[in-house]
Amino acid sequence: MDAAATYEAGRAEAEAQVGLYESKIRALGMARLAVAVAALGLVVGLVWWHLPAIAAVGVAALVVAFVALVVVHARVFDAKDRAIARRRFHERGLARLDGTWRSFPATGGQLASVDHPFSDDLDIFGRASVFQLLDATETPFGRDALASVLSVGAMPDGPPPDVPWRDDVLARQEAVRELAPSVAWREQLSVEGAVLRTEAPDPGPFLLWAEGASPLHVPAAVALVARVLPLAVLAVGLGARAVGLPRGTWLLVVLIELAISGWYRKGTRAVVGAVSAHAGGFARYGSLFRVAIAERRASPRLERTLDRLRVSDLRRGVVGEMNALERLVSFVEARNNDVFRLFIAPVLMWDMNFAVLLERWRLRSGRSVRGWFAALGELEAFASLAGFAFDRPDHAWPTPTPEVQLVARGLGHPLIDGARRVGNDVTLPRGGTALVVTGSNMSGKTTLLRAIGVNTVLTLAGAPVAAESFALGHVALATSMRIRDSLEDGVSHFFAELKRLKRVVDLSSQPPPVLFLLDEILHGTNSRERVIGARSVIQGLLGRGALGAVSTHDIGIADLGDALPGAVRNVHFEEQVEDDGAMTFDYRLREGPVRSSNALRLMRAIGLDVELDGPVPSPLPGRQTA
């Protein structure tokens, strides 16, 4: 399946549907206006011109027709919303292909943390991030599941405790591969989530109500009386004379209703208030669950997630229970009309009766709700990863290996568009090995480290990677690349880097082995101390079985390749200087340490007056050099 052609066809079809529904909406609007005018004309004729009684039947028929048109109008509006969501699904797919995905509003920026072992350094969250590229979720549960798999390498519930790491990664890969060509299913899941998204409130209060203690305790006999009394009011009001009861008997029944309602008023208000404020959006998730469980899946990992939605001791199942909640909430929301709440609801004991039914629903299903939504979130996260796999057929499926290693051919950065992405071979054959990457400014050192890190994240998530092949053992990723000082906390840039390095070192003292990525290590101090400190840190990490890559401008650190042969390998990037002095970069990784630098040329290129081959200036008088 060609991704671009699929999305183009889907967008065109959805666009045509939107136009069709807009035409229907205009026609129905005109029909409603015509029916309303006709009904009003008949009413005026009955009052002023004394039309025959048959005109009253015409008024009733027109009222029924108007109500029917209102219902149909609402359904067409709903269909149009779904068509718009369908169009958006395909437009987002095209944006991921043409590189304009960086304009997506959902960046995951609120999920970023400078204290995370790698996410800030590798642009996992935020603008132009991995999350922004992959995210196709529509619910907060899907967002959290995707964030979890990108930041800790597992869905929120994690793998079963007896499943080895390699088997868990392979199981997630199988799930993603199965969903990748299921464009129609992923589209439906996205569409149903999109039409609910504006109605879905913060899940916290709803889950607190669903899982919490009951504020309403109504004995079964009282609940039965509360259901019977509204019928009694109607029966007494209509049949009092027939059985010889006084005309005001119905008022006595109403007073009994008010007394019972008043006795349970506190608990009733607590239930109705909680549901009205927090459950309305969640009650409409039945359609999303219906899409989620619509198909059987071959992947055991997907079936394990779906079983949490299908296997239930509830007679109506997840979809039935969510539909039941939606119906109850719709009845409760009828009280939002002031006339109904003040004059009709008390006589029907409306709040109390539906509070009792909501409590029964909560006792029956409340403890399962969190698990249902967590499973739904996992499916959304898998769908996001599957969309990425569908969009990138040139990406390879990584091989998780029992050995600790990282061996990649044609490795590139997934966030760089394919036409500009340059692949390189990277080999860390076992624990206790490292690359020291030297090179010119802007030549690709940092990009290489980030490519290693981001593709490792995708491997742990179960997604394909930007490489021809990628083999990875069980590792814990840790980085020190983007250092942020803090004026407020009194933390200098150098001390902030020391804290990041300490975290990497601490992680290396526990399993699994650390995959470390250190960019411009200790560049905040002088050359002598930088070499001594960096060599000590790198040797300590390798001694603990870690593996990784270090970028630096300091040739002294590259001497580790001679001091630790077989453990440290030197590689480099370099610039190409044209005949006219212009610099270009091919971003190709080469063996050995770099032999040239382009710092002075770059200074000249932006207008700083420096001599390329001039003598080293002497220290200023009275100044001590380090």
pLDDT of residue 172: 94
Domain check: are 442 and 566 in the same one?
yes
Domain check: are 508 and 581 in the same one?
yes
448 inside domain: yes
Domain check: are 432 and 581 in the same one?
yes
Domain check: are 382 and 519 in the same one?
no
Domain check: are 147 and 274 in the same one?
yes
Instruction: Indicate if the pLDDT at residue 583 is higher than 80.
Output: no
pLDDT of residue 617: 52
251 inside domain: no
DSSP secondary-structure letter at 618?
A: P
Burial class from Cβ neighbours inside 10 Å (0-12, 13-18, 19+) for residue 160 reads exposed
Domain check: are 387 and 403 in the same one?
no
Domain check: are 451 and 529 in the same one?
yes
111 inside domain: no
Domain check: are 344 and 440 in the same one?
no
pLDDT of residue 608: 66
pLDDT tens column, 466-491? 999 999 999 999 999 987 655 445 45
Instruction: Indicate if the pLDDT at residue 421 is higher than 60.
Output: yes
326 inside domain: yes
Mean pLDDT (the chain, rounded): 86
φ/ψ of residue 179, rounded to 5: -80, -20
Closest CA to 460 of 379, 406, 409: 406
Last residue of a domain, one of 363, 391, 419: 391
20 compared with 596, residue with greater pLDDT: 20
CATH number at residue 552: 3.40.50.300
Residue 274 confidence class, pLDDT cut points 50, 70, 90: confident
* Stretch among 116-130, 175-189, 244-258, 603-617 having the lowest mean pLDDT: 603-617
Instruction: Indicate if the pLDDT at residue 161 is higher than 70.
Output: no
615 inside domain: no
Residue 280 confidence class, pLDDT cut points 50, 70, 90: low
pLDDT of residue 518: 95
Q: What is the pTM of this model?
A: 0.86
Instruction: Indicate if the pLDDT at residue 257 is higher than 80.
Output: yes
CA-CA distances (angstroms) from residue 62 to 36, 37, 48, 58, 555? 8, 10, 19, 6, 89
Cα angle, residue 550 at apex, residues 99 and 118 outer, rounded to 5° = 55
Q: Which of 64-68, 113-117, 125-129, 303-307 has the highest mean pLDDT?
A: 125-129
Domain check: are 406 and 437 in the same one?
yes
pLDDT of residue 277: 66
Domain check: are 377 and 405 in the same one?
no
Residue 244 confidence class, pLDDT cut points 50, 70, 90: low
pLDDT of residue 230: 87
> Which residues neighbour 283 within 8 Å (Cβ) at sequence distance 6 or greater?
322, 325, 326, 328, 329, 330
pLDDT tens column, 294-350? 888 999 999 999 988 886 566 678 888 888 888 888 888 877 777 778 888 888 899
185 inside domain: yes
Last residue of a domain, one of 366, 391, 416: 391
595 inside domain: yes
Domain check: are 77 and 146 in the same one?
no
Structure tokens at 230: 């509204």
237 inside domain: no
> Domain limits at 56?
1-98
Residues above pLDDT 70, as percent of the chain: 88
DSSP secondary-structure letter at 416?
A: S
Domain check: are 91 and 155 in the same one?
no
Last residue of a domain, one of 331, 357, 391: 391
pLDDT tens column, 490-540? 457 777 888 889 999 999 999 999 999 999 888 777 778 888 888 999 999
Query: Mean pLDDT throughout 281-305?
Result: 87
Residue 251 confidence class, pLDDT cut points 50, 70, 90: confident
pLDDT of residue 377: 94
Closest CA to 416 of 387, 383, 392, 440: 392
Q: Which of 200-214, 502-516, 586-600 has the highest mean pLDDT?
A: 502-516
Residues above pLDDT 90, as percent of the chain: 53
How many structural domains is the chain composed of? Answer: 3
